[in-house]
Chains A and B, each alone.
Chain A
Amino acid sequence: MTRQAEFRGALLDAAAPRPAGLVDGQGRPAGRRYDVYRNNIATSLGEALATGFPAVAKLLGAENFKALAALYLRAAPPDSPRMMLYGAGFGDFLEGIAQLRKYPYLGDVARLEYALRESYHAGDAAALPATALAIAPEALLAARLGLAPSVRLIRSRHPVVSIWAWNMAGGAKPAGGAEDALILRAEFAPVPQVLAPGGHEFLSALRRGETLGTAYDAALARAAEFDLSPLLACLLAGNALTEWKEESP
């Protein structure tokens, strides 16, 4: 085993014996001096996770979250020096924890928070002005539209946006029911909202490169009452629509 493999071996496991050959200034065994590195890693990554998932942290409580962060660190150590990517699999991890089965929405709340972070760091794009859609209806239905890189869609069996808002933005206590989430970043601050039924189908079709007409049909197939105008107005106001490009979004 190499020196660093040996040093690495006990860093994430406080019960593992400390590596040999580490000394203090007088040549005595380093003992708990090694634990400074263990603590730095556990603390900094625990804090990074709590910062990245404030609603999950609030739902679980600080102590529970800390314990779960320690488990997550051992299950899935970061694989990149970019801390903005840490926690990508946290939602899946939470769903795999038996003791959390009575909180089945936690995974989706984590996915929503990670998607907000992705949106925050996503690339900038030139948004279409409202006038771009002021064309003849047949031309509009034949058009393809791009979505800005900061747009995120999340489908949930739970009231994921309402749970998030209840914890983060002082919203009302959610009653229940499924919610499709849409995240838009008009300038720099990503904001989640609930999509009306059919909206998720519409935006998924746009993202696949379907024409606006085909996307509209997909939405109507899901919800006969689907109304396109308010969604388009919302997307324009959120700087979410871009010119269609073959490789976009």
Chain B
Amino acid sequence: MLDDNRPSHGLPAAPGVGYKPQHYAEIIADAAPVAWLEIHAENYMGDGGRPLAQLRALSERFAISVHGVGLSIGGEGPLDAGHLSRLKHLCDWLHPASFSEHLAWSSHDSQFLNDLLPLPYTDATLRRVCAHIDEVQDVTGRQMLLENPSSYLAFAESTWDEPAFLDEVARRTGCGLLLDVNNVFVSATNLGFSPQAYIEAFPLARVGEIHLGGHDEDEDDHGAPLLVDSHGRAVVDPVWALLDHTLARSGPKPLLIEWDNDVPGWPVLRAEARRAQDALARVPARVPARIPA
């Protein structure tokens, strides 16, 4: 459990974007760029050169969020101590406004599978995830945010629903949560639950950041829609509507546009961030104490 006086997440309640090196010159030249940038931690674990030089320059102008994609928080084995130490080194060097990771696993027996793999929501998983988050927060000396996954299937043995599971992890470890509303929409479509009901059950007070991204459409063996979290296109209208539904209950939050594949030019990404700004502008500064579900 974290002490309450440890540094908390400090991203502004404004839009940010996932940083891509091909946008560097345009971001630096933009008179009104976004307020903050998110990087994937693993891309900045080299020893030097252009990636770290650009990141250093950006960190002088922008709040930075470090988003890990390789820690395997839900892994059955112990956390990779070398990787955790590189993460601490990056955070100590960069002083990011936020650090986040995923409720997922990606490594097994020292193999790294480069995907966010799903977890059964059981008491055993809960204990393991909490122990790993305690270790991450102890080693890095900072609070982390844990992100809800995109689900394509469920485990027959699960006994918790996802919002309750995430709430319990946050309660036990003192970590914050990263709410990806596209992931909620994808999982809700794929598993047949109400995305609005998920948001209403989610512990929004613990949310330090909201993600928005695009998905692809496929179908399962029965011809039912199967959405895939591809981060390769614009955010769709139903996800923007789900964001409004969320912000009306949570109040303003830091919003991130994620676009990792088929990355568009800076103006397109910037326009998505403006749309997120518009969503924030519609949120009353003071959220009603209780909104009926």
Contacts and interface: CB of A to CB of B under 8 A. Distances in A.
Asked if A pairs with B, the answer is yes
Interface of A: 2-5, 7-8, 11, 21-28, 30-34, 36-37, 40-41, 44-45, 48, 77-84, 119-124, 149-150, 185, 188-189
B122 to A, nearest CB: 9
Given A31-B220, A121-B48, A123-B48, A4 B75 contact: yes
A125 to B, nearest CB: 8
Contact of B190 (A4, A25, A82): A25
Contact of A37 (B108, B109, B115): B115
B43 A83 contact: yes
Nearest to B218: A36
A117 to B, nearest CB: 9
B100 to A, nearest CB: 15
B153 interface: yes
13 contacts: A4-B108, A5-B108, A5-B109, A26-B192, A31-B221, A37-B152, A81-B42, A81-B114, A82-B42, A82-B70, A83-B43, A122-B47, A150-B49
Contacts of A25: 154, 190-193
A26 B192 CA distance: 8
Contacts of B80: 81
B114 A188 contact: no
Interface in B51-87: 51-53, 69-72, 75-76, 80, 83
Contacts of A22: 153-156
For the complex of A and B, the 10 pairs showing the least CB-CB separation, nearest first, are: A81-B70, A121-B46, A25-B192, A123-B47, A25-B191, A188-B50, A30-B153, A124-B48, A31-B221, A123-B48
Nearest to B219: A32
Interface of B: 42-43, 45-53, 69-72, 75-76, 80, 83, 105-115, 117-118, 120, 152-157, 190-193, 218, 220-222, 224, 226, 228
Contact of B115 (A3, A30, A41): A41
A188 B76 CA distance: 39
A34 B151 CA distance: 10
Nearest to B46: A121
Nearest to A27: B156
Contacts of A3: 76, 120
B220 A24 contact: yes
Q: Which of B43, B49, B52, B221 has its CB near the most chain A CB atoms (within 10 A)?
A: B49
A84 B111 CA distance: 15
